[in-house]
A and B are shown apart, each in its own frame.
Chain A
Amino acid sequence: MLPGFSLRIANRLLELDRVADAVEAFGEAHGLSAKLRYQIRLVLDELLTNTISYGYADDGEHGIHVGMAEEGGRLRFLLEDDARPFDPLTARIPDVSAPVEERPIGGLGIHLVRTIMDRVAYERVGGLNRLVLEKDI
C-alpha cells in the first residue's frame, strides 16, 4: 500500500501552496505523469479557491480537510469543510463552445473539475460539505 496524504488547511488562499506541495509528493509517490499531477492540483485549487473565497459567512478561521489516496488503479480525493452548503454538481456550467463574444466569463473552474474527474459525489453530512472525487489511472 503506497502512502496516502491527509492534511488540514486553514481557509486562506496562501494555504493552497501546501496543497500543491502535497499533490507533488503524492504524485511522485504514485508515479503520476506531469499532466495528471497538474490536473489534480488544478481540480483541488478550483474547489478550494471557491470554498475559501465564497464559502464562509464570517471572517473566522475554519479548517478544511484534504485527503488523497490510491485504491486499485483509482485516485480518490476527499474534501471536507464547514462552509455554506455547496454542491458543485448542481452549479451552472458555462457553454464552452459559444462564440467568443458571447462566452461567459466565469464558471469554468467547476466545468474543469467535472470534466477532469471521472466521478464526483457530494453530500452534506453533520454540517459539513463532503466531496469525494475519483480519477481512474
Chain B
Amino acid sequence: MQLVEKESGEVTVLELGGRLDSNTSKVLEDKVMEILGQGKKKVLMDFADVDYINSTGLRVLLLALQQLKKVQGKLVLSSIKDYMKEVFEISGYTEIFPIYPTQEEALANFS
C-alpha cells in the first residue's frame, strides 16, 4: 500500500494506493491514530490509486470514522474506482461516509 500525506488548509489529505488488505491495512490504521494524536479533525482519504480493498481495510475506515466522530471530526472519501463501489454499498458505507468522485469536489464540500 502507498500512502502520501498532504495538508490542504485544515484538511489532512491521505492519498492511498495499491492494496488495502490484511497485510497492509495496519499502516493506514497507525497513520490515522497518529493524525488523531496530533489533534487533527478533518481527514480526506483519496482512493484514486487503490485497486483492492477487503474487510480488513474497510474496518480501518469505520474505526477512523468512529474515532473522528468522538471529537466532532469528519472523514470524507473520494475517487473510489467504479468496480469497488458496490462493495462500499453492500458494507453500508455509502450511508455513513460522504463520498465524492474527485478529491477536488471532496475538498470543496468539506467546509
Closest to B60 in A: A105
Inter-subunit contact A39/B86 (CB<8 Å): yes
Interface residues on B, range: 20 to 34
Chain A 27-49, CB within 8 Å of chain B: the 1/0 string? 00000011100110110011001
Q: A101-B69, A103-B62 are in contact. Are A38 and B92 (CB under 8 A)?
A: no
Complex formed: what's the CA distance from A97 to B94 in Å? 10
Residues of B within 8 A of A103 (CB): 62, 66, 92, 96
Residues of B within 8 A of A96 (CB): 90-92
B71 within 8 Å of A by Cβ?
A: no
Chain B 67-111, CB within 8 Å of chain A: the 1/0 string? 001000000000000111011001110011000000000000000
Q: A42-B54, A105-B63 are in contact. Are A112 and B90 (CB under 8 A)?
A: yes
Partner of B54, one of A34, A35, A45, A106: A45
Residues of B within 8 A of A53 (CB): 22
Q: A111-B90, A112-B87, A112-B91 are in contact. Are A41 and B55 (CB under 8 A)?
A: no
Inter-subunit contact B90/A13 (CB<8 Å): no
Minimum Cβ distance to chain A for residue B48 (Å)? 15
Q: A46-B55, A111-B90, A112-B91 are in contact. Are A34 and B62 (CB under 8 A)?
A: no
Closest to A115 in B: B90
Complex formed: what's the CA distance from A108 to B22 in Å? 13
Closest to A35 in B: B83
Inter-subunit contact A45/B21 (CB<8 Å): yes
B58 within 8 Å of A by Cβ?
A: yes
Complex formed: what's the CA distance from A7 to B58 in Å? 28
The interface centre, meaning the residue of B54, B55, B87 with most chain A CB atoms within 10 A of its CB, is B55
The interface centre, meaning the residue of A33, A35, A106, A108 with most chain B CB atoms within 10 A of its CB, is A108
Residues of A within 8 A of B (CB): 13-14, 16, 33-35, 38-39, 41-42, 45-46, 49, 53, 96-97, 100-101, 103, 105-106, 108-109, 111-112, 115-116
27 contacts between A and B (CB under 8 A): A16-B21, A35-B83, A35-B84, A38-B52, A38-B87, A42-B87, A45-B22, A46-B54, A46-B55, A49-B22, A49-B54, A49-B56, A103-B62, A103-B66, A103-B92, A103-B96, A105-B62, A105-B63, A105-B66, A108-B59, A109-B55, A111-B90, A112-B55, A112-B90, A112-B91, A116-B87, A116-B90
